[in-house]
Structure 1
Amino acid sequence: MLPQTVYAQPAASAAPIPVVPGPKRTVAVGEIEANGGFEASENWNVGAGVSAMLTTALANTDRFVMVERGTLTGILNEQQLQASKVAGGTPSRERMTPAHYIIVGSVTDFGSPRSGGGFSIGGSRKGMIGGLGTSRKTGKVGLDLRIVDSRTGKILKSFVVSSKVTQSGIALSGGYKGIALGGDQFSKTPLGEATRRALHDAVVQIATVLAATSWEGRVVEAEGSGVIINLGQEAGVVAGDRLHVERVAKVLTDPATGQILSEERYRVGTLTVTGVEARIARANFTSVDGSAAAARGDLVIPAGAPRSR
């Protein structure tokens, strides 16, 4: 093949991925369904494939702690996981890390429209140049995604991303037969390039939303002025960081659904991080009034956050 790529949708400079301040949020990509009449001849599991590629794209930004949730189908599963104490960790038993946020949604477009309805994966129009066939292939991808707070079940944002790429060139044959979804060969195709662009736009949206959300950790152990928290190097904590410690006084839940509606908190004191390991940090605690002490389970929030009432 003598390729000459022409983009029907000109390649603009990709939007930069925003910095997400504070410790890295823990994110999981949940179930992404494939909605629509997608061609099955390539034996592609489009939903699972896009889910895996989005997980990789988020992990490659180094802005999040990614956890695997390929077998979980929804927020209820994540809440049950945490409620049953399967999520978390103890010195004696390794357990799953809970995800703060889960990305779910649907693949709404994947392939190229063709006359007569339905979809075809990379359809082509052929002509002849010097005895060789010319081909024109189009890849189009659309994703409808939601960012969900796994603790409350609240949808932080729903958004749609899409991309369309057309490639023309000279070839004896074409198509996607025998190409693995998400593999190196796939990435060089119009559909692969459209997928990459759509996923990049999705990552930008996710980073933008999570950069604007508050984050929190927990006190693991407290003895006198010495405190250990469940945020460490993997979360981006460094020595010298200052954090606030808050305690939940009351949790207001919906009597019908059990969903958390609001929390009443009060500030206990301030932490100064003195040492960091992979998943924990050690800090010195200073009480707000000189008498309060930090306790296991207290919340840890950014020092710049407003005082809770």
Structure 2
Amino acid sequence: MDKLMSLFRKISLFLIIVLLSGCASHAVRPLPRAVRDYNIPTIAILDFENKANFPYRWNLGQGIRDRLVDELVNSRRYTVLNRADIQDVIRELEMQNSPKFRREGRLDKGRLKNVKYLIKGAVTDFSHVAGGGISGFVRNFGMGTSGQMAVVSVTLYVTDVETGEVVVSKSFSDSVWAGEVDFAATYKKVTFGANSFYKTPLGEATTNVIRKCIRSISETIVREKWYPSVVKVVGDTLIFSGGVDRAVEVGSVWTAHEQGEILVDPQTGNELGRLPGRNMGKVEVVQVEDYFSHARILEGDFSPGQILQRVPEEKPVKEVSEESPAI
């Protein structure tokens, strides 16, 4: 019995240590290296229209949309908002401010995020077609086999909400060799979006088309460089945005700059860019939190809103030996 109690205490102590070590670590992971230097755009995905003639009652538009949302969220390149159920959210906020509900836990109004880009589209093809691919290759050698290709096509639209400009309008298609599969036997009992679906030829083609859509979205809207900005100045220290999430490092040195003047085309009203701002000083990071960092002021005058740029580390210069090489 004593041995059993001793074993129980050891196991309990081990579990406590594991839990404490988990609590001590940061809950936030750094953004992927390809993402952390860019602004994260806020987007909303609207329903995709189904224009494909598919024999089963699959909601292709919603299915493609849901898969696109999943992939965009998992990429950590975007803040993805739900506009499909926004009226339900607004009604809930209005109910919370009714005198019939308690004040405790009431959410603040005016905190819903604004969308920078709206994304929508249409499923234009979702089928098996005869010929092509491997079957065509085989027929060229006189072999009378036939086959099918699974084809998925999607038209994608991305609109800049601020200007109303359609910045992406492209069609994407992909085909996967399906061979001599029985269409009804393959898809009749499969649910769109299930793991079993993505193992089918149409599922593989869907995955490839979604990846093409995401690549096009990223190339178009993930392009604005991100810079941390001064949040608060406290004596000889300051706090600026960006921490573990942006892979800010203790000991790194940053220069602060005023926001430069925005250049606007007088004929079109389009923003052309921004002039460099005046250098206001230099700081060194002393502590990094999840989403912000503390820095010691080395020199200069600081105020909230100034942007920071990291000073590149100087690489040590290798000393060249003056000794003559051996002959």
Letter of the aligned partner of 1:107 in structure 2? A
1:146 aligns with 2:158: yes
Provide closer, same or farther for how the CA distance between residues 35 and 269 of structure 1 changes in structure 2, counting only shifts above 3 A: farther
Displacement, 1:41? 4.1
Displacement, 1:163? 1.1
Match for residue 277 of structure 1? 289
Aligned partner of 2:80 among 67, 81, 84 = 67
Displacement, 1:188? 1.6
Provide closer, same or farther for how the CA distance between residues 145 and 93 of structure 1 changes in structure 2, counting only shifts above 3 A: same
Number of residue pairs matched by the alignment: 244
Aligned partner of 1:198 among 184, 198, 209 = 209
Provide closer, same or farther for how the CA distance between residues 113 and 253 of structure 1 changes in structure 2, counting only shifts above 3 A: farther
Provide closer, same or farther for how the CA distance between residues 159 and 245 of structure 1 changes in structure 2, counting only shifts above 3 A: farther
Q: Distance in 1 between matches of 2:36 and 2:114?
A: 20
Q: Distance in 1 between matches of 2:259 and 2:203?
A: 47
1:161/1:198 contact within 8 Å kept: yes
Residue identity (%) = 20
Q: TM-score, normalised by structure 2?
A: 0.56
Higher relative contact order (CA 8 A, sep 6+): 1
Displacement, 1:213? 3.4
Match for residue 16 of structure 2? none
Provide closer, same or farther for how the CA distance between residues 212 and 66 of structure 1 changes in structure 2, counting only shifts above 3 A: closer
Q: Distance in 2 between matches of 1:173 and 1:93?
A: 52
Match for residue 52 of structure 1? 66
Q: Which runs of 5+ in 2 are unaligned?
A: 1-31, 87-106, 131-145, 313-327
1:136/1:169 contact within 8 Å kept: yes
Q: Distance in 1 between matches of 2:179 and 2:70?
A: 29
Match for residue 247 of structure 1? 258
Match for residue 31 of structure 1? 46
> What does 1:22-171 align with in structure 2 at a 5 Å threshold?
22=37, 25-34=40-49, 36-39=51-54, 41-46=56-61, 48-62=62-76, 64-71=77-84, 95=111, 102=117, 104-112=119-127, 136=148, 138-146=150-158, 148=160, 158-171=169-182
Match for residue 187 of structure 1? 198
Task: Choose between structure 1 and 2: higher strand proportion.
Answer: 1
Q: TM-score, normalised by structure 1?
A: 0.58
Q: Distance in 2 between matches of 1:155 and 1:173?
A: 39
Provide closer, same or farther for how the CA distance between residues 72 and 186 of structure 1 changes in structure 2, counting only shifts above 3 A: same
2:119/2:159 contact within 8 Å kept: yes
Letter of the aligned partner of 2:302 in structure 1? A
Task: Choose between structure 1 and 2: higher helix proportion.
Answer: 2
1:293 aligns with 2:326: no
Match for residue 92 of structure 2? none
Aligned residue for 2:215, secondary structure, equals: helix
